[in-house]
């Protein structure tokens, strides 16, 4: 057997509940785990106290990749690694400080976010971000340095589940959803899904926007909101707040739906392409969103997605979700996602960058 030459530790969020943060981090894991000459470990660190539990592993690894954790965990890990003169790569999914500017969060909390993100940015040996926009913002706030952009793509896990669900007849999947999520799914003509996990500020803002829109949505349309913590299920008129769903059931729900509804307001910024937009394109399902919802993607309204600011046209399309217009828009989105935002592209970009780092370190 070949000797292990390099030990990489990924410090990421818990995967007991899959979220957008964990999907990008899992893409890193899947990209690296198949190489026999790499020893790759994934540490689930969703609380700062767990850093002490894994301290020996964090301090002795050849390279630590920090991805998808909150800013204070990222700052603590990079600080400890810098004390030991060890290499650390921080993968920034977004800019938490800027994302909470339009909320009621206190000044002290915002200052803490800004300070922690600055520490992680300045002390990291290497920095990766999810979009060119995020690279520009970090340079403006924290100073110029070398930054590698690796765009978000459809996750390997999502694609794996979709391929297996495609082998099951759709009517069977619908019956499963009716039994496990809500019987209302079998009663409505049109099903829209709004994946809005409230662990992200932007999703909270989108949820408030959706509540203001619900009275304007066709009465034959059922909207299912997923990802709201502390709620198992709430129903009101034609809206169901389903709470958190196991990831496989969430993917099943997307696959039987007639569209993904993401009404993000202008203040709901994000650091990279949203996973749910990429997922909508991958399964060729119509996307109903806003310009802010499709940030960092080269998408045009009425060509790749249906803008939700025109409620009259939105109602017309929802009366017939299989119309030629809806099908064309979904097909256009599907085409661009398949060309540019597949997992293989993420893996290639990451491995090319890491290979350059390893060569520069003469490993």
Domain ranges of the chain: 6-153+343-360, 156-340
Convert the pLDDT of each residue in 121-167 to its tens digit.
999 999 999 999 999 999 999 999 999 999 999 999 999 999 999 99
CATH of 156-340, one of 2.30.30.230, 3.40.50.2000, 2.60.40.10, 3.30.450.20: 3.40.50.2000
Please state the rounded mean pLDDT for residues 14-42.
92
Percent of the chain with pLDDT over 90: 74
Flag whether pLDDT at 295 surpasses 80: yes
CATH of domain 6-153+343-360: 3.40.50.2000
CB-based contact 257:322 (threshold 8 Å): no
- What share of the chain has pLDDT > 70, as a percent? 94
**Lowest mean per-residue pLDDT among 70-74, 229-233, 303-307:** 229-233
Is-contact 13 46, C-beta < 8 A? yes
- Across the chain, the runs of DSSP E, i.e. the strands, are 6-12, 38-44, 63-67, 87-92, 126-129, 148-149, 190-195, 221-226, 234-236, 239-243, 259-262, 287-289, 306-307
Mean pLDDT computed over every residue of the chain: 91
- Domains 6-153+343-360 and 156-340 in one fold: yes
pLDDT band at 311; cut points 50, 70, 90: low
Q: Are 272 and 130 in contact (CB under 8 A)?
A: yes
Contact 207, 228 (CB under 8 A): yes
Is the pLDDT at 363 greater than 60? The verdict is no
* Mean pLDDT value of segment 258-284: 95
The arithmetic mean of pLDDT across residues 194-210, rounded, is: 89
Give the mean pLDDT of 238-256: 93
Mean pLDDT in residue range 207-218 = 80
| pLDDT score recorded for residue 232 | 57
Q: What is the pLDDT of residue 339?
A: 95
What is the DSSP code (8-state) at residue 232? S
Q: Quickly tell me which residue has 């790759």 as its tokens.
A: 40
Of 264-273, 283-292, 308-317, 353-362, the poorest mean pLDDT is in 308-317
Q: What is the model's pLDDT at position 233?
A: 64
Contacts of 139 (CB under 8 A, 6+ apart): 145, 147
pTM (two decimals): 0.93
For 339-361, how does the pLDDT look when each residue is reduced to its tens digit (9 = 90+)?
999 999 999 999 999 999 888 76
Whether the per-residue pLDDT at 1 is higher than 50: the answer is no
The average pLDDT across 97-102 equals 87
Q: How far apart are CA 73 and CA 47, in angstroms?
A: 7
pLDDT (0 to 100) of residue 3: 60
Mean pLDDT over 309-337 rounds to 83
For residue 237, the tally of other CB atoms under 10 A from its CB is 11
194 bridge partner residues: 225
Question: Can you tell me the mean pLDDT for 309-320?
Answer: 71
Signed CA dihedral, 8, 13, 17, 18: sign only: negative
pLDDT at 104 exceeding the cut of 90: no
Residue-by-residue DSSP string for 69-97: S-HHHHHHHHHHHHHTT-EEEEEE---HH
């Amino acid at each position: 057997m070949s000797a292990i030459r390099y030990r990489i530790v990924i410090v990421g969020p818990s995967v007991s509940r899959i979220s957008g943060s964990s999907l990008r981090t899992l893409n890193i894991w899947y990209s690296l785990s198949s190489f026999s000459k790499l020893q790759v470990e994934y540490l689930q660190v969703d609380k700062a106290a767990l850093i002490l539990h894994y301290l020996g592993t964090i301090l002795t690894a050849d390279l630590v990749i920090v991805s998808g954790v909150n800013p204070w965990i990222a700052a603590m890990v990079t600080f400890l690694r810098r004390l030991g003169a060890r290499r650390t790569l921080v993968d920034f999914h977004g800019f938490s400080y800027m994302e909470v500017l339009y909320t009621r969060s206190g000044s002290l909390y915002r200052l803490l976010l800004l300070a922690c993100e600055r520490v992680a940015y300045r002390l990291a040996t290497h920095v990766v971000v999810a979009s060119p926009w995020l690279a520009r913002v970090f340079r403006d706030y924290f100073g110029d340095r070398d930054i590698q952009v690796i765009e978000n793509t459809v996750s390997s896990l999502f694609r794996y589940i979709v391929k297996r669900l495609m082998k099951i007849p759709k009517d069977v999947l619908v019956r499963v959803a009716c039994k496990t999520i809500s019987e209302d799914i079998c009663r409505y003509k049109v099903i829209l899904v709004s994946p809005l996990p409230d662990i992200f500020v932007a999703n909270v803002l989108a949820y408030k926007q959706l509540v203001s829109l619900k009275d304007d949505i066709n009465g034959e349309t059922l909207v299912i909101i997923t990802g709201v913590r502390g709620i198992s299920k709430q129903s009101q008129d034609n809206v169901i707040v389903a709470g958190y769903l196991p990831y496989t059931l969430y993917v099943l729900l997307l696959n039987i739906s007639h569209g993904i509804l993401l009404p993000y307001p202008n203040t709901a910024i994000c650091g990279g392409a949203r996973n749910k937009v990429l997922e909508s394109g991958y399964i060729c399902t119509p996307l109903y969103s806003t310009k802010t919802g499709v940030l960092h993607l080269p998408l045009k309204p009425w060509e790749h997605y249906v803008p939700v600011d025109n409620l009259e046209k939105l109602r017309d399309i929802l009366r017939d979700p299989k119309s030629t217009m809806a099908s064309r828009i979904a097909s256009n989105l599907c085409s661009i996602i398949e060309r540019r935002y597949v997992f293989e592209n993420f893996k290639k970009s990451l491995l090319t960058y890491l290979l350059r780092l390893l060569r520069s370190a003469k490993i």
